[in-house]
Amino acid sequence: MIDTIATEEARATRDRGKSNSGAHVDFVRLRNRGIDVKALVNVLPREPVLLDEVSITPTKRWQKEDTKRQAKQVLAQAKAGKRIREADVAKLQQRLLTMERQDELAGRESEGKELALALGEARRSKLVAEALDVLARPKEKRRYDEKYVDRLQQRLLGIERQDELMGRESEGRQLAFALGEVRRSRLVAEASDVLARAKEGRRFPEKYINALQQRLLSMESQDELSGRASEGKQLALALGEVRRSRLVAEALDVLAKAKEGRRFDPAHVAKLQKLLLSMERGDVLSGRESEGFRLAADLAELRR
């Protein structure tokens, strides 16, 4: 009996009628029985009734119908111009195509493939409209995030591959290439603007110049793969010259002021030395003369 009670308590299925835990004996009026008398009864405590959890698994038929209903709902939203989540649409397509294959094996007719294709067209239309909107932004002087354009290009190339597998024409590659041109022209304009401002004496953060150079070199490598001429490397080298001349000028300025008796923070001088040695290594690799090592050695004298 003890084992039975312990098991029931562990499963939370113990019948309260089997136990008087929390119960007490009291006189209770029995008016609801049609008589006004008191009876001595066992009164149970007022507690919420606990029910066992029941796992309900939807039938396959219900799952199929629910998938179709969701697909038709998404298509209606797309037709009405409402936003649809691409990840949700992709999952629906997979479920519909799986359903289609199962129906084919069972010899049943199915609208799974038809709905999956319709969802694909909805995704395709949304993606093309998105790409066209980004292409229109530079003309309207609207800005866009470069990482977002990267992802958009990848998605466009994805629909291009799908269209090729289905033997249909596609504007995916064409739009991806057009977006690449927009990014390219924007990057060239940005680098040219930085070079022009640097000549006027404007200073830029070192990290920003580094990042801009990397983007230009990446553009150069992409242009080489597509067999086209590119000014990416040329602009990156020009930015390097800006950094180089600025660094040399700063080092010479520190050395000149130090001779006049001015003191500098050792941490700043150490950072300047590190940058000069890095410049020296870059110059050696490119086969050009460099004063980086000499200036770094002169700055080392200040720290002694």
One-character DSSP codes across 125-187: HHHHHHHHHHHHTTTTT----HHHHHHHHHHHHHHHHHHHHTT----HHHHHHHHHHHHHHHH
Q: Which residue has the higher pLDDT, 9 or 210?
A: 210
Q: Which of 112-116, 160-164, 293-297 has the lowest mean pLDDT?
A: 160-164
- Report how far residue 163's alpha carbon sits from residue 165's, in angstroms, rounded to the nearest whole number: 5
Q: What is the pLDDT of residue 53?
A: 67
Give the tens place of pLDDT for each residue, 250-294.
Answer: 888 888 888 887 887 778 788 888 888 777 776 676 667 777 778
pTM above 0.85, yes or no: no
What is the SS3 assignment for 224? Answer: helix
Cβ-proximal residues to 162 (8 Å cutoff; 6+ apart), any chain: 120, 170
The predicted pLDDT at position 140 comes to 66
pLDDT at 184: 83
What's the CA gap between 8 and 52, in Å, rounded?
Answer: 11
- Every domain of the chain and the residues it spans: 250-303
Collect all residues with Cβ–Cβ distance below 8 Å to 156 and sequence separation of at least 6.
Answer: 127, 131, 172, 173, 175, 176, 179
Whether residue 78 is predicted with pLDDT greater than 60 in this model: the reply is yes
For residue 226, what pLDDT is reported?
Answer: 66
